[in-house]
Amino acid sequence: MIQSQSMIRSLVLLLILAFSALTAVEVQAKNSMRPAMYKRIVEIQKGLSPEAPEGSTLVPEVDKKAVRTLIDEFLDHSPNDYEASLVYQYSASLSLLDENYKAAYQDYKKVHELNRLPLKNLLQIEQALGQLAMQNEAWKTAIGHIEQWMKNLSQAQEQLKTEGKLKDPILNEKIIDKDYMMLAQAHNQLEQWPEVVVAIDQALALHAEPVAPESWYRMRLAGLLSQFNALTETKPKSKPWWSLHLQSVQQLQLLVTHFPNMNYWRQLASMYQQAALNAKENSKLSLDSYTQALSTLHSAYVAGYLSTEQDHLWMLRLMVHQGKYHQAGRILEKALKDKVVSDANEHLKMLADVWVMSREYSKAETTLKALIAKSNKASYQETLADVQALLKAKVQG
């Protein structure tokens, strides 16, 4: 389910109260409602909003079967369009109490098609149709209703302002951030990635807090990366590809800042490394991108998020690639000691190599002897002999 039950129930109460507020005189005078039919309407209203017994604080339950019978009987008496509009709405409210969202959608759709209620109520019902379509996972239909409601509300408000009707309650209605997030969710289900990003950007522009919920940014990132990955297969290094790369990096930077998570660090480092691989003809851009990839993983390391062997080795290889041999040696030595990285032969050989490249020959000799104790390969013996020669020359020099 996309929308919460509390939101749906709030909608039920809002719509019931909106119509219950009409008195018999107002209804009959303004809408020519027949007295006999109005009497039946009142019975349905009472059934949907039963009063608690005197002295009781408990909210009585709705007798749904009895209310449904009253609704069916009302519809059997050939109501006019306005009368039918009211009762279809009550039928929808009853269906919502039963969590029968498909039936509620059909009833609200009939109300909307009859087009006999005040504009404010029709706008509310258009909004409700969008919410119910979301509940029913009718994504394309939901998008249509939500966008139409937004358009109709904006046009109605502009018209009222033009006419000077500045006290009309429709002017108090607002399109809020969560309305655009519903649009984003529907587009996301349809894998309409550009529309996902646009809808979330509109939601963020309306969001009251400086930082929105993490899920909003995560969905926006998914929309950006889906477009980016598609272009990687068809038009890598194109202007749109680089634009999406930059937007994805900026989104990931925000996520690691406000919602630190190793998955975001990995994705960010991967984006930088992908940029480096696609910028080989621009040596400075390529180097800068590798530097940013390393900086990202090292930041995660310092913050305590780098915990797997795979992530450590990724960072260490980037360090070696950029000539940070001594730093790589210190980190790998600690990772081996803490058993974050296993003492596999290739890892010990890597440690020996970085000690050699950083001219720490004594440490390289110690590491190679430990490696030979595990696996007495000829190549290891040759490397040890070379290191011992370098160590001797260093001592003598």
Do 182-341 and 5-49+61-175 fall under one CATH topology? yes
Statement: 5-49+61-175 belongs to CATH 3.40.50.360: no
Q: Name residue, tokens 């008195």.
A: 23
pLDDT of residue 4: 52
Please tell me the pTM assigned to this model: 0.87
Quick count: other Cβ atoms within 10 Å of Cβ 11? 21
Indicate the pLDDT class of residue 23, thresholds 50, 70 and 90. very low
The CATH architecture one would assign to domain 182-341 is Alpha Horseshoe (1.25)
pLDDT of residue 32: 63
pLDDT digits (tens, 9 = 90+) for 163-216: 999 999 999 999 999 999 999 999 999 999 999 999 999 999 999 999 999 999
Average pLDDT value over all residues in the chain? 90
Domain ranges of the chain: 5-49+61-175, 182-341
Q: Do residues 44 and 88 touch, judged by C-beta distance below 8 A?
A: no
Q: Does residue 360 have a pLDDT over 90?
A: yes
Rounded Cα–Cα distance for residues 249 and 247 (Å)? 5
pLDDT of residue 141: 98
Name all contacts of 11-15 with Cβ < 8 Å and 24+ positions apart. Answer: 11/96, 11/128, 11/131, 12/93, 12/96, 12/97, 14/124, 15/89, 15/93, 15/121, 15/124, 15/125, 15/128
What average pLDDT does range 315-329 have in this prediction?
97
